[in-house]
Structure 1
Amino acid sequence: MLKVEAFQVAEQVNVKKFRSEFTSKPFFGSNFELFYAQENDQYLHIFNYGVVVFAGYGDVEKSAFIR
């Protein structure tokens, strides 16, 4: 079973900028959200209202990503 956690990391996330700077290609994307499915059963969902959802990520990986 995957552990899923959501964090409010900002009031807003520039989804277009994030998409251009993040190295992986999104599984799904729009002007409001991005969803990434990684090969190692890790999933990342970014919302333009500042929420990031992690599934299958360890604490160290989440902390590194949020910084």
Structure 2
Amino acid sequence: MTPYETFMNGARMARKIAAECLEEAKTADTARGFHLIVEHDRHIERAEDYEMRAHWYAPEIEQEIAA
């Protein structure tokens, strides 16, 4: 697996966990809901960081598409 694939896989997993946190927050009590929303934001930031790092290793075609 290339570094690009590794970072993009990490970003997908972080976004999946973020979505799960947000879904659980809808039915949780108030305190737990706030905690889950904070966790959601943390995972989104992590996903964005992984995506940024993935672009350092992106194949040339991916870089051309992004430009």
Is the pair's TM-score, using the shorter chain for normalization, greater than 0.5? no
1 or 2 for the larger relative contact order (CA 8 Å, sep ≥6)?
2
**Larger CA Rg, structure 1 vs 2:** 2
**More helix, by proportion:** 2
Greater strand fraction, Structure 1 or Structure 2: 1
Give the TM-score of the pair, scaled to structure 1. 0.25
